[in-house]
Amino acid sequence: MICKLAVVFIAFLATCSANHRLPREGASFTVVNEVSVDNEGKNVNCMCTKYVIYCEQNRQNRPYYLKAAALCRSLSVLPGGPRGRLAVLRDPLIAKEVRDTIMSKKLNARSCVKYYGFWIGLSDAASEGEFIWADGKSLCVGDHRDWAPDEPNNNTKRTKRGQDCVQMWFRYDYPGLLDDEYCDARPKGIVCEVQDPYCHSYRP
């Protein structure tokens, strides 16, 4: 029997030394996706996803979007466990909780992100206008697609290629709306996700 559980969050602040080249971790939370139970109602297995939100990248850490993806791939809950990736915010409820965590922890403040945004796992770099999630699946009807007004617009003022990488944007009156951005023009915060097959990162 598979039970869908409510989203459960674990938020914490973490700091690193001023000389560290990696972005500072701002907060994280764990979502319980599924739990298998036996006939007596005892848990026998579970599946969780841990989301990790980082403050802005170092300005020298280029190309920004690719380095953000590499940072996420370096994550795992346990040694030898599944590797992370830029967050696939297909579920509108998960996207909302990421946004709410950023705002409640004040990670949208300029002390965390000077350039207003957080990279997520969505891009149309392969084919303009065809947005693909980091899990290889297309952006579909029913997915989280809460774009800022007039976005995506593939602005080409900075580069002929335009804007191929998607951020969760916190500028003006756009609290966490989606925006296509130049992949290597400005450093951003980062939202990663990593699978946790046995829910080791979950704390009730």
Instruction: State the CATH number of the domain containing residue 112.
Output: 3.10.100.10
3-state SS, residue 71? helix
Comparing 33-37, 66-70, 91-95, 99-103, the range with the smallest average pLDDT is 33-37
Residues spanned by the domain of 34: 2-196
What was the pLDDT predicted at 32?
86
**Cis, peptide link before residue 63, omega less than 30° from 0:** yes
Name, in order, each residue with C-beta under 8 angstroms of 141's C-beta and a sequence gap of 6 or more.
Answer: none
Q: Is residue 201 part of a domain?
A: no
How many folded domains does the chain comprise? 1
Confidence of residue 45 (pLDDT cuts 50, 70, 90): confident
**For 3-31, how does the pLDDT look when each residue is reduced to its tens digit (9 = 90+)?**
333 333 333 333 333 334 678 888 898 98
Average pLDDT over residues 170-197: 93
Strand 189-196 and strand 117-123: pairing? parallel
Residue 90 falls inside a structural domain: yes
131 domain-assigned: yes
More confident residue, 52 or 158: 52
Contact by Cβ (8 Å): 182, 134: no
For 6, residues 6+ apart whose C-beta sits below 8 A from its C-beta are 32
